[in-house]
Amino acid sequence: MVTTAAWRRSPLGGPTLSAQPSDELTSMSRKWATVACQRQRFWTNLVWTIGIGALLVLVLGLQPVQAASLPNEAERTRLLAQIEADRLLLSELRKPVPLVRHEAELYLQRVRELATASDPVRLSLLVHTVIQQAPLYFDWAEREFESPDHRVFEYYIGGARGFHDALEELRKGVLFTVMNRLETLAAVIDELPTE
């Protein structure tokens, strides 16, 4: 049986390199791929749910909110621009990251612009981290590996995983921003006098 080096926890608590059957490592990589697919489906469904909720709030209640609660045109324009950026950002984050480096750079630049328009304080730092991690991921993706096991090993050890972790944190940040904005809009709508 072919063995592959893999990291295991030593009895003293630290990581050690030990031999492990290749079948087991391949099974682990399949398991992680399945978990990643399930996680992606969960976030896609959550983004769609929040996006539809935002659309309903906008369609059913934004016009009275503008007239009654927002005192001037500048604040109305700013709020509408942020909501539009939220909508477009949710739409962009639903798409998979392009596999070609140049297309991915354009995609990430678009996400950066939308995140900065939506919430420059919270989201710009998160999107900056994603952009910093992108070269490590694409260097890994464009590289030829000796075996699938080595590819998985390099993904976790070589830093490519940091890109997906940072992207996941950005998605969470965007969802948090959109939820806060929807909560604010709902509170303003609740304060409107009923006719």
Q: Tell me the mean pLDDT per 10 residues along the chain, length 195.
A: 45 44 53 59 60 54 44 72 90 91 94 92 92 93 91 89 94 92 79 70
Structure tokens at 34: 């399945």
Structure tokens at 138: 């694409």
pLDDT of residue 20: 47
For residue 183, count other CB atoms closer than 10 A to its CB: 11
Check if the beta carbon of residue 115 is closer than 8 Å to that of residue 89: yes
Identify the three-state secondary structure at position 33: helix
Check if the beta carbon of residue 27 is closer than 8 Å to that of residue 4: no
d(C-alpha 23, C-alpha 133), whole Å: 30
Check if the beta carbon of residue 85 is closer than 8 Å to that of residue 118: yes
User: Which residues, at least 6 apart from 138, have a Cβ–Cβ distance to it below 8 Å?
Assistant: 101, 104
Nearest to 4 by CA among 17, 29, 22, 16: 22
The half-sphere exposure of 169 on its side-chain side, counting CA atoms within 13 A, is 17
pTM here is 0.61
Which strand (E) or helix (H) includes residue 9? strand 3-9
d(C-alpha 54, C-alpha 61), whole Å: 10
pLDDT of residue 135: 93
Scan for tokens 């806060």, then name that residue.
Answer: 180
Sign of CA dihedral 62, 67, 71, 75: positive
pLDDT of residue 106: 94
